Amino acid sequence: MNAQTMDFVERMGLALESDGLPRIAGRIFGLLLLSEDCRSLDDLASELGVSKGSVSTNARLLQQRGVLERDSRPSDRRDYYRVQPDLFTHTMAQRLARWQRFHEAIGEARTTLPIRSRKVLHRLEEYQAAYAFMSEVIHEGLTRWQGKRERRSAVAGLHR
Amino acid sequence: MNAQTMDFVERMGLALESDGLPRIAGRIFGLLLLSEDCRSLDDLASELGVSKGSVSTNARLLQQRGVLERDSRPSDRRDYYRVQPDLFTHTMAQRLARWQRFHEAIGEARTTLPIRSRKVLHRLEEYQAAYAFMSEVIHEGLTRWQGKRERRSAVAGLHR
DNA sequence: GGTGGCGTTTAGTTGATACTGAACGCCGTT
DNA sequence: AACGGCGTTCAGTATCAACTAAACGCCACC
């Protein structure tokens, strides 16, 4: 592997690690981000110099998170992985879902907890209102972006 | 402390832990979120049943992240902490900054790495474009929300 | 100048988890 | 039915970070 490429892969390892994922998951992601074609588990393992078991576990983890996609080829028993084509939309949506859980906890607290203080109550309401507003903004932004993408690829289709 | 309150505090502990912060930091945040007034370090430590050192370190951490604010009182050497008033805007802006670093890495890779594949290049460009777009959407949304807040508090001021 | 209350720092412990290497199970092929 | 190639799983380890408790340093007040 190229030295610069290895640097990038390593940076991605650290970046996703700071996001709560295993470092190897980040490395797999980084490598596939720069790969033209899908890669098999053994391919990934040897390229990254890590055990096959780790790659298997982490590739599946990334797949479940919507970061990677699994692919198969006719008359080939191996699994191949690649990055999800519309990666950005997926990860963004997933982040939103993660926040949602957090804000649900606050909402639940607001309704079920015996809150004496008007100040606290107002603080929680304010927070929820802000979340609701921004959640809507982001959702609307995502659909607008997808619309742009679709229109662009439709035009590209005409040019073929 | 109330049992339900303890549940909530514990949930916040887990929530912020899954965000890369120490669990105690989450507990401090949860407790202060439900507190009418500021709390001293010793107060927090005894209420949460953890060591004073942990509270000191983690409260400062949350302050540096813009989650908490430190307060002091005349003729009192103790530090008091409370949640940042416009918590939501702060945390949102901080998340954006964190993403930025990630996307800078991708941008850097795109320009410095020798990328042979047109497909890969297009993938990276697409990703960056999406990020730029959504970053703008979120920023614009945040300023709109702050505008709403200011107008509302101005009206509330008139009514006093 | 000593004393007590405060926040901070640090050595040490504990707990969690990423990772490895090997065993396992499955299936297609011979 | 044995074999080989594949993905998965699991016991063992090693690393890392949170947390505690105690020492420390600082400042105000006596």
Measure A112 CA to C23 C1' (Å). Answer: 51
CB contact under 8 A, B15 and A106: no
Record the pTM.
0.90
Q: What is the pLDDT of residues B48-92, one digit of tens each?
A: 999 999 999 999 999 999 999 999 999 899 999 999 998 999 999
At residue B32, the pLDDT reads 97
| DSSP symbols for B64-109 | HTTSEEEE--TT----EEEE-TTHHHHHHHHHHHHHHHHHHHHHHH
d(CA B94, CA B127): 20
CB B89 within 8 A of CB A130: yes
CB contact under 8 A, A113 and B89: no
CB contact under 8 A, A120 and B11: no
**Closest nucleotide over all strands to B81 (CA to C1'):** C7
Measure A74 CA to D3 C1' (Å). Answer: 22
Q: What is the pLDDT of residues B4-45, one digit of tens each?
A: 999 999 999 999 999 899 999 999 999 999 999 999 999 999
d(CA B102, CA B100): 5
For B142, the closest chain A residue by CA position comes to A134
At residue B156, the pLDDT reads 76
For A106, the closest chain B residue by CA position comes to B8
**Closest nucleotide over all strands to A53 (CA to C1'):** D8
Q: What is the pLDDT of residues A106-156, one digit of tens each?
A: 999 999 999 999 999 999 999 999 999 999 999 999 999 999 988 887 887
Residues with CB under 7 A from strand D: A 40-42, 52-53, 56-57, 59-60, 77-79; B 22-25, 49-54, 57-58, 75, 77
CB contact under 8 A, B18 and A19: no
pLDDT of A49 strictly over 60: yes
CB B39 within 8 A of CB B81: yes
d(CA B30, CA B11): 8
